[in-house]
């Protein structure tokens, strides 16, 4: 697995907030720069001139493509989380052929892969989660409710099938998601606390395995119970 701090630029996928960029338009570069800026500096601290410099474009081009800082932020969030939402939808569609507990494990693995490869994507939402307001409400309705919903429904199915303990989704979904998403953006802190090299991919990639081990040993029911 690549370093948890690696920044990988992805081509935006079509959505209402982030339509497909035209080749050479500078739109893709702006989204990549904006993602890093909003993750690092929060919405309030990020500036359009700085984003423009990082993208190698003029500030007027940001206004041309996105209009306002608020619209750029929404397009950036949509750009960031398409890489997670699409596979979650695919798992949900295929889950009728899976045991619920196996579907839940696959959802966890998908989130682990996403958070480890794109910690800056996660930071954008962590930043907003601390500040109630219109942006948080927007991201909840357009992204977080979708992500949490996939976990909630799979947990409810696994409980109904007697495969996991009857832990309410409001608790179990958040135990799972927060144990995953808060780890990878905290790599600088963890590396200093435990003396682990940030480039030690073996240590950081094994975190996902330990999450699966600890959570699923704790929540699965014993055979015959």
12-65 confidence digits (pLDDT tens): 433 333 333 343 479 999 999 999 999 999 999 999 999 999 999 999 999 999
> What integer pLDDT is reported at residue 15 of this predicted model?
36
Contact 49, 63 (CB under 8 A): no
**pLDDT, position 161:** 95
Domain locations along the chain = 27-219
The pLDDT value given to residue 55: 96
The secondary structure of residue 5, as a DSSP letter, is T
pLDDT of residue 128: 83
Alpha-carbon 78 to chain mean position: 11
- What is the reported pLDDT for 177? 94
CATH topology of domain 27-219: Tetracycline Repressor; domain 2 (1.10.357)
8 A C-beta contact, residue 12 and residue 20:
yes
> What is the DSSP code (8-state) at residue 198?
T
Q: 3, 9 in Cβ contact below 8 A?
A: no
Residue 186, pLDDT score: 86
- Report the alpha-carbon distance of residue 37 to residue 164 in Å, rounded: 41
Count of beta carbons in the 10 Å neighbourhood of residue 7: 13
Per-residue model confidence as pLDDT tens for the chain (225 residues): 444 434 444 444 333 333 333 434 799 999 999 999 999 999 999 999 999 999 999 999 999 999 999 999 999 999 988 888 988 988 888 877 889 999 999 999 999 999 988 888 888 888 888 778 899 999 999 999 999 999 999 999 999 999 999 999 999 999 999 999 888 888 888 889 988 887 777 777 788 899 999 999 999 998 765
């Amino acid at each position: 697995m690549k370093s948890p701090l690696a920044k990988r630029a992805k081509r935006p996928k079509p959505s209402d907030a982030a339509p497909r960029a035209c080749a050479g338009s500078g739109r893709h570069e702006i989204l990549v720069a904006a993602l890093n800026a909003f993750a690092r500096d929060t919405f309030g601290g990020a500036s359009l001139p700085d984003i423009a410099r990082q993208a190698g474009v003029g500030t007027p081009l940001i206004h041309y493509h996105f209009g306002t800082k608020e619209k750029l932020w929404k397009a950036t969030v949509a750009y960031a989380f398409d890489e997670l939402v699409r596979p979650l939808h695919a798992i949900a569609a295929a889950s009728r052929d899976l045991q619920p507990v196996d579907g839940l494990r696959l959802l966890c693995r998908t989130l682990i892969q996403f958070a480890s490869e794109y910690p800056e994507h996660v930071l954008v939402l962590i930043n907003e989660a601390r500040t109630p307001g219109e942006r948080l409400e927007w991201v909840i309705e357009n992204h977080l409710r979708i992500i949490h919903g996939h976990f909630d429904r799979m947990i409810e199915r696994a409980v109904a099938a007697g495969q996991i303990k009857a832990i309410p989704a409001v608790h179990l979904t958040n135990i799972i998601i927060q144990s995953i998403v808060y780890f990878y953006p905290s790599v600088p802190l963890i590396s200093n606390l435990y003396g682990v090299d940030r480039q030690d991919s073996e240590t950081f990639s094994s975190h996902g395995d330990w999450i699966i081990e600890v959570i699923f040993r704790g929540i699965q029911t014993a055979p015959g119970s």
